[in-house]
Structure 1
Amino acid sequence: MVAFDPPTFQQRKLQRKGSESVVRKSIEKALKLPVVRTMGSIFVVSLVAFLFIAYFFHLKTNAVSELDYTTYDYHIAIISDQTDNSFWEAVYASAQETGADYGAYVEQIDGTLSNALSMEDAINVAIYAGVDGILLRPTEGEVSEDMIERAYDHGIPVVTMQKDLPNANRQGFVGINDYFLGQEYGKQVLKLATQDTQLVMVLVPATTFDATSQSWFQQGLTSTVLQENIAFDFQIIQDDKGLNNAEDIIHSIAEGAIAQPDIILCLDETITLSTSPLVREIGLSDEIQIIGSSVSEAILLEIETGNLNASITIDPTELGSASVEALMTYIHYHMVSYYTEVDTMLIDHDVLLTYGEEAIDD
Structure 2
Amino acid sequence: MRNRSWTLGLLGLFLVFCYVMLQFLLSTVHIGGLVGQMEPQSEVEKSFKHIVLIAQELDNPFWRTVEKGASEAAASRGMKIDYLGPIRINPTEQTSLLEKSIAAKPDALLVQGIKEPQYDMLISKAIDQGIPVVTLDADEPDSRRLTYVGTDNREAGRRMGELVVGAAIGKGRIGVIIGSEQAENQQQRLEGFRAAIANMPYFEIIDIRASNISRIQAAKHTEAMLKQYPAIQTMVGFSSLDAPGIVEGVKAAHRNDTLVFGFDDIAATRQGIREGTIKASIVQQPHEIGSAAVQLLASHFLGSALPQQHVIGTYILDAKTLTPVSSP
| Fold-level similarity (TM above 0.5) | yes
Deviates more, 1:94-103 or 1:223-232: 223-232
Could you tell me which of 242, 246, 260 is aligned with 2:231?
260
C-alpha change, 1:351 and 1:207, in structure 2 (3 Å) is farther
2:176 alignment counterpart: 202
Shift of 1:223: 3.5
1:26 alignment counterpart: none
Q: Normalising to structure 1: TM-score of the pair?
A: 0.69
SS of 1:350 mapped into structure 2: coil
Asked if residue 92 in structure 1 is aligned to residue 63 in structure 2, the reply is: no
Long gaps (5+) in structure 1: 1-57
Cα separation, 2, equivalents of 1:110 and 1:282: 34
C-alpha change, 1:168 and 1:259, in structure 2 (3 Å) is farther
C-alpha change, 1:140 and 1:324, in structure 2 (3 Å) is same
Cα separation, 1, equivalents of 2:219 and 2:248: 10
Asked if residue 230 in structure 1 is aligned to residue 203 in structure 2, the reply is: yes
2:279 alignment counterpart: 309
Task: Output the amino acid matched with 1:236.
Answer: R
2:122 alignment counterpart: 147
Shift of 1:124: 3.2
2:80 alignment counterpart: 105
Shift of 1:273: 2.5
Shift of 1:337: 0.5
1:29-65 Cα distance to aligned partner (Å, 9 max, x none): xxxxxxxxxxxxxxxxxxxxxxxxxxxxx9xx89x98
Asked if residue 181 in structure 1 is aligned to residue 156 in structure 2, the reply is: yes
Q: Is the 8 A contact 1:159 1:326 kept in 2?
A: no
Q: Normalising to structure 2: TM-score of the pair?
A: 0.75
Q: Is the 8 A contact 1:186 1:222 kept in 2?
A: yes
1:89-119 Cα distance to aligned partner (Å, 9 max, x none): 11111101111232221221469x9xx9932
Could you tell me which of 243, 249, 262 is aligned with 1:272?
243
Asked if residue 342 in structure 1 is aligned to residue 315 in structure 2, the reply is: no
Could you tell me which of 164, 170, 175 is aligned with 2:139?
164
Q: Is the 8 A contact 1:98 1:324 kept in 2?
A: yes
1:220 alignment counterpart: 192
1:152-204 Cα distance to aligned partner (Å, 9 max, x none): 1211010000101111111110112232111120121123122x233122212
Cα separation, 2, equivalents of 1:311 and 1:321: 23
Task: Output the amino acid matched with 1:262.
Answer: Q
C-alpha change, 1:129 and 1:249, in structure 2 (3 Å) is closer
Shift of 1:130: 2.1
Cα separation, 2, equivalents of 1:242 and 1:249: 11
Aligned residues: 285
Task: Output the amino acid matched with 2:61.
Answer: S
Shift of 1:243: 7.5
Shift of 1:208: 5.3
1:249 alignment counterpart: 221
1:17 alignment counterpart: none
1:290 alignment counterpart: 260
1:211-241 Cα distance to aligned partner (Å, 9 max, x none): x962x434422433332221123413153x9
Task: Output the amino acid matched with 2:130.
Answer: G
Cα separation, 1, equivalents of 2:154 and 2:280: 20
C-alpha change, 1:254 and 1:229, in structure 2 (3 Å) is closer
2:94 alignment counterpart: 119
Shift of 1:292: 0.9
Cα separation, 1, equivalents of 2:298 and 2:61: 25
2:21 alignment counterpart: none
Cα separation, 2, equivalents of 1:140 and 1:84: 22
Q: CA RMSD in A?
A: 3.3
1:234-282 Cα distance to aligned partner (Å, 9 max, x none): 413153x947653443333443x22432221101123223211221343
Cα separation, 2, equivalents of 1:206 and 1:279: 20
Superposition map of 1:124-139 within 5 A = 124-139=99-114
Task: Output the amino acid matched with 2:78.
Answer: G
2:18 alignment counterpart: none
Task: Output the amino acid matched with 2:203.
Answer: I
C-alpha change, 1:292 and 1:110, in structure 2 (3 Å) is closer
Long gaps (5+) in structure 2: 1-30
Cα separation, 1, equivalents of 2:178 and 2:318: 21
1:5-45 Cα distance to aligned partner (Å, 9 max, x none): xxxxxxxxxxxxxxxxxxxxxxxxxxxxxxxxxxxxxxxxx
SS of 2:139 mapped into structure 1: coil
Q: Is the 8 A contact 1:276 1:308 kept in 2?
A: yes
Cα separation, 2, equivalents of 1:247 and 1:109: 28
Cα separation, 2, equivalents of 1:246 and 1:93: 26
Task: Output the amino acid matched with 2:176.
Answer: V
